[in-house]
């Protein structure tokens, strides 16, 4: 692999001093021979930038970019990807740990797909395994239809490898949609997402995760905040579904038809829309709920819930 195409590792950081050294060490230990490592800091107030510069002084593959103002994690990753020169881009969080062959095996697996993703094992803050892989909690498989990822997506950026072309097709990112889900959805439009059923990442779970793994309990909001939070969440979901519908090409006729119907049913909680939404989920549950690691009965019960909620 002496003439291997470059993989750009895009590492987004923000006040990540606690676990950053371990992550950087695991990236530098990758067996894939051709890497550029773009670290992009979003205005840290701790020693994160100093750590990045220390590592960059020792290894010329590392480039350090510091934002003049905080962009938020989605825009930060978008900016980092825009600086990537490699054929492929590997998204990297600041607090995990990559197995040495992660990038090598993902490059071998991606083939003609715009995206490949692997499995991860859940670990505590000290990287001790918690006994579960993400694939134990959700249904992992390859995806080739946007209907499969328009409601639920469990792609975690740290476990993905994408083509640079996919990034260019997917920009600009939406602030209402996590960047990994946004990229995965677009991948289904341009060739699909391939699943590599192998654990290649230790996924650290700790109190300051931006996003923890699915199933992790969330802190309940105060009663006075609940209504406002629900309103913002509904608006975010409506924006996501409209954006997914807009991105889907007219040539994908049944997919576009379903997305348009979902957009209409998401407009409000009128009795007619509630019934429409429920019937749409019942008719398409095998696709819309494919990521859910549920029995058929539980999926039907979920469809019933669409009478009173939006996902």
SS (H, E, C) 19-57: CHHHHHHHHHCCCCCCEEEEEEECCCCCCHHHHHHHHHH
- Whole-number percent of the chain with pLDDT over 90: 88
Please list, in sequence order, all residues whose beta carbon lies within 8 angstroms of the beta carbon of residue 23, skipping any fewer than 6 positions away.
11, 92, 93, 94, 95, 96, 97, 98
Please list, in sequence order, all residues whose beta carbon lies within 8 angstroms of the beta carbon of residue 109, skipping any fewer than 6 positions away.
116, 194, 196
Neighbouring-strand partners of residue 36: 8
Mean pLDDT for 284-307 is 96
- Cα–Cα dist 205/95, whole Å: 9
For the chain, report the end-to-end CA distance as a whole number of angstroms. 45
What are the tens digits of pLDDT across the range 25-65?
Answer: 999 999 999 999 999 999 999 999 999 999 999 999 999 99
| Strand 193-204 to 97-98 pairing | antiparallel
Let me know: does 144 contact 222? Beta carbons within 8 Å. Answer: no
Let me know: does 135 contact 151? Beta carbons within 8 Å. Answer: no
pLDDT exceeds cutoff 90 at 69? yes
pTM: 0.93
What are the tens digits of pLDDT across the range 132-158?
Answer: 999 999 999 999 999 999 999 998 999
């Amino acid at each position: 692999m002496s003439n291997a195409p470059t993989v750009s590792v895009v590492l987004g950081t923000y006040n990540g001093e606690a676990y950053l050294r371990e992550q950087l060490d695991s990236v530098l230990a990758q067996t894939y021979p051709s890497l550029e490592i773009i670290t992009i800091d979003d205005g840290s107030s701790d020693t994160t930038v100093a750590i990045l510069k220390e590592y960059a002084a020792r290894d010329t593959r590392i480039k350090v970019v510091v934002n003049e103002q905080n962009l938020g994690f989605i825009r930060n990753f978008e900016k980092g990807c825009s600086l990537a020169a490699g054929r492929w881009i590997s998204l990297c969080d600041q607090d995990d740990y990559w197995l040495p062959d992660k990038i090598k095996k993902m490059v071998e697996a991606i083939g003609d797909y715009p995206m490949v993703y692997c499995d991860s094992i859940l670990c505590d803050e000290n990287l001790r395994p918690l006994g579960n892989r993400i694939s134990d909690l959700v249904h992992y498989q390859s995806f080739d239809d946007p209907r499969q990822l328009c409601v639920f997506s469990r792609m975690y950026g740290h476990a993905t490898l994408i083509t640079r072309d996919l990034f260019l097709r997917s920009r600009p990112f939406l602030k209402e949609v996590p960047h990994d889900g946004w990229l995965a959805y677009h991948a289904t439009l341009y060739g699909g997402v391939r699943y590599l059923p192998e654990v290649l990442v230790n996924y650290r779970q700790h109190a300051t995760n931006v996003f923890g793994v699915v199933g992790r309990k969330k802190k309940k909001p105060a009663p006075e905040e609940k209504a406002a939070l629900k309103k913002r969440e509904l608006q975010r979901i409506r924006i996501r579904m409209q954006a997914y519908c807009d991105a889907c090409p007219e040539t994908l006729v049944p997919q576009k038809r379903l997305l348009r119907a979902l957009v209409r049913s998401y407009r409000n909680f009128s009795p007619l829309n509630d019934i429409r939404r429920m019937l749409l989920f019942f008719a398409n549950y095998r696709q819309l709920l494919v990521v859910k690691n549920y029995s058929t009965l539980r999926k039907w019960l979920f469809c019933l819930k669409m009478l009173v909620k939006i996902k």
